[in-house]
Amino acid sequence: LADGGVVCIDEFDKMRPADRVAIHEAMEQQTISIAKAGITTVLNSRCSVLAAANPVFGRYDDLKSASENIDLMSTILSRFDLIFLVRDIRDEQRDRSICLHVMGVHIDNYKPGGATAGSGLVAASNALQPFNSGDDALLGGTGAAGSNSDSLTDTNSSASAIAENAMRIATTGVGELNVSTMKKYIQYCRAKCSPRLTEEAGDVLTSSYVKIRDDVRRRTLDSDGGEGSHSVIPITVRQLEALVRLSESLAKMRLDSDVQTQDVAEALRLFKVSTMAANQAERSTTSSSSNNSNPSSQSIMSAAIPSRDDMMRSESFLRSRLVVGMVVNRQKIIEEAAGQGYNAMVIARALAVMVMRGEVQERNQSRLIKR
């Protein structure tokens, strides 16, 4: 259904396991194989995927690693070009800006023209709305809001209005593209422009990809060296193809037939602030939690990146304590280990590593552990 366009998927983490397996082919080969009612065929699914998922238990836990917060298989995560962690950070200025924007949208919908008691609120929210500049008819009209919006949409959608808007911005550099002009421009770029990598851009992309892989490998060795230190999102050839697609898209936005080094640099920047930042979330949240802790922060800091010996001792204790087939309370086993001189955070980390290996299983929303 979305062939040639964009498919938006919400609650991506709620997909059934069978559907998750079926989406592999669509995201990797852009085709869907169907065998129903004696009909066997292959349908095209050449589209972009915009998906949103929730962390485990509905909220991102800063005290847990990224792998513990993201309950998605790495085979699916590696198929996305960019992955962003969108977190609800409590910040007064940011909350106020969001509130102004939301209130401004509602006030503009009902009172587009006259001055109101919340005009200051409207003015502040208009600064956050990308397509309000130049819409004098919307702000100065005296009729109903619905009729003004309809007339404005019809005016902006005409071919002459789109050409005028594009020419004015291209020649003067002042103003913003309205939605209709932006849609036409994107359609034209997709239909008329097919940029390709230049040799210089390819060399930059190759060296950068090799460096990213090497940095991930060194970070893995510098942590604890165990299996629990692997990245949530593996950096593979799929990510190299994602960087190529991003670079080509950036060149296509300029209607350039060649991908320049500046496009590769911007693609690498986007990749680092999204996918690589998500990969490093475990390390950053661990260090920040240790810096903001109570007077026992020194012991927590030492447990943030436990040594190999500490991990092996903790895992040995858990294996000796957990008999095969036994079900115990997670909190009780951590408290018991702490009573015998083990670091509670190292024990919790060792449990998470054993869960990822499949040695133990979590039950009852991770409250119980079964071996």
For each of the chain's 371 residues, which pLDDT tens digit applies? 888 889 999 988 888 877 777 788 888 888 888 888 888 999 998 888 999 988 887 777 776 777 777 878 778 888 888 888 888 777 788 888 888 888 888 886 655 444 444 444 444 444 444 434 444 433 334 444 444 444 445 556 788 888 888 888 888 878 888 888 888 888 888 888 889 888 898 899 989 989 888 888 887 776 654 444 456 677 888 888 889 999 999 999 988 999 999 999 999 999 988 888 877 765 544 444 444 444 333 333 334 466 778 888 888 888 888 888 888 888 888 888 888 888 888 888 888 888 888 888 888 777 788 88
Across the strands, what pairs with 252?
A: none
Nearest by Cα to 80 from 7, 5, 16, 15: 7
Nearest by Cα to 241 from 70, 79, 25, 128: 79
Distance CA 269, CA 251 (A): 15
Q: Specify the long-range contacts of residues 16-25, CB closer than 8 Å, at least 24 apart.
A: 20/73, 20/76, 23/76, 24/75, 24/76, 24/79
How high is the pLDDT of residue 138? 33
Distance CA 3, CA 232 (A): 30
Would you say 278 and 233 are in contact if contact means Cβ atoms under 8 Å apart? yes
Distance CA 52, CA 175 (A): 32
Distance CA 180, CA 186 (A): 10
Tell me the whole-structure pTM to 2 decimals: 0.56
Distance CA 269, CA 281 (A): 17
**And the tokens for 333?**
């086993």
Distance CA 30, CA 37 (A): 23
How high is the pLDDT of residue 230? 55
In the three-class reduction of DSSP (H, G, I as helix; E, B as strand; rest coil), residue 78 is classed as coil
Q: Specify the long-range contacts of residues 327-333, CB closer than 8 Å, at least 24 apart.
A: 327/363, 327/368, 327/369, 327/370, 328/368, 328/369, 329/367, 329/368, 329/369, 330/362, 330/366, 330/367, 330/368, 330/369, 331/367, 333/369
